[in-house]
Amino acid sequence: MARLSSPDSSQDDICEVFTDTICSVCHRRLLVSEIAYGQGEGIMPKTGEFINIVCCSDCYQGEGSPVQLWKGDGIACTPKRMDHELQLEAAAAKACAAEAKAQTLAEEKAEAASRAIAAEEKAKALEETGKVLDKERDEANSRAFAEQEKSEVLRAENAALLEELQRFRQMAAPSAGLGSAP
């Protein structure tokens, strides 16, 4: 089964060719462009593969040389068909490499997205922690300010009481001296 690219489709669109084309004289696999005339359909004896039986243009012109019928593991190909097969193999290898690269890039992208989400969650958590800390700091500052004001009020009251005590002592001191002197 050969794979050929359709000339009017994109590179990614590959169509399957279900029957191969073999020359009845030289027994080689051919490209469609090398067919002189068709002779019908048949089946490969070893593989059971359906094939189109034709006469290639080289054999039709008397330039072809017969090849031993189905020798070895496979069937010989014409030079054009061999070039085509090599190009198909190279394109398939390139496609596999591109697919592997795309898969790697997709995995890297997913990993980067995962890291970005984790960083965003961490930033949100830090922001929330910062808000809590800011609130606690503000409350602590408010308490400290209230304590400072309370301390100042207490100092002022203490100073007022000390002044009053001093006045009472001064008032008590001259009267204590008057009562003891005859």
**pLDDT top residue among 94 and 169:** 94
- Calpha distance 55→38 (Å, rounded): 6
* Residue 30 neighbours by CB distance under 10 Å: 25
The arithmetic mean of pLDDT across residues 43-64, rounded, is: 84
Q: How far apart are CA 109 and CA 85, in angstroms?
A: 35
Q: Hey, is 40 helix, strand or coil?
A: strand
4 sits in which H/E element: strand 2-5
- The answer on pLDDT for 142 being more than 50 is yes
Q: How far apart are CA 140 and CA 42, in angstroms?
A: 95
Query: Average pLDDT, stretch 39-61?
Result: 86
Query: In angstroms, what is the C-alpha Rg of the chain?
Result: 51
State pTM to two decimals. 0.46
pLDDT tens digits, 9-34: 444 444 454 578 888 888 888 888 88
Six token digits for residue 13: 């669109």
